[in-house]
Amino acid sequence: MSGLRVLHEGAGLLVVAKPAGVLVIPGRGEGGPSLREQLEEQLRRKVFVVHRLDRDTSGVLVFALDAERHRALSQAFEAGQVKKRYRALVEGRVEAPQLVEAALVPARKGRMRVARPGEQGKPSRTRVRPVETFARASLVEAEPLTGRTHQIRVHLLQLGHPLLVDHQYGRAEPLTERELGGTADTVVLARTPLHAARLEWPELPGVEALILEAPLPEDMAQALELLRR
């Protein structure tokens, strides 16, 4: 697949490492071709979107090549049978694993927020654990146990550890090498450093059990190396 890293192909599935900055499906008012459109043009066939990642989120993304597998996987996502692991670079020192439980409600301009007392929000839960901790930042693993819009980003904000860059829930300006411990003013992180690192599901009707992983993209890996110095 030209210009796209394929993680798994076969038995009616196509799993790719989604680059940051690419839409999964055509977005209302958002420019640029979507990944689904690009794949359909290259494969010359219809592809089915099983789940979605935000435009700026990178990582494991699953497409089905027929309606049967699309249905089986979509139902597995809805039923919580798919285990998801994200990696995120966040502000501050995350010292211990935590479980965030908070109902979410829509806010202005496409954002979400934690429901206030008396508000009817959608229940959501995310496990967060530290992977590496630095002086003013941390690499964490986030495991969403529910699938709400912007769930991980809002829960990290609720913990007091927003993503290092997040134009909706934290700092909007890009991060430079100097701010991460280097010596240059070159931009290292210009998007939300959130990466879908791993997906796992059991054997499903017409779908084999799989564990799929995508390595950290270049910008997050570079930021991590600077933080380690």
- Report, as residue numbers or ranges, the catalytic residues: 54
Judge whether 194 and 57 are in contact, CB under 8 Å: yes
Task: Give the C-alpha separation, 147 to 82, whole Å.
Answer: 11
| CB atoms inside a 10 Å sphere around CB 125 | 15
The half-sphere exposure of 220 on its side-chain side, counting CA atoms within 13 A, is 28
Pairing of strands 104-106, 98-101: unpaired
Q: How far is CA 45 from CA 38, 39, 163, in A?
A: 11, 8, 37
What is the number of other CB atoms lying within 10 angstroms of the CB of residue 28? 4
Cβ–Cβ < 8 Å for 206, 69? yes
Residue in the block written with tokens 């989120």: 57
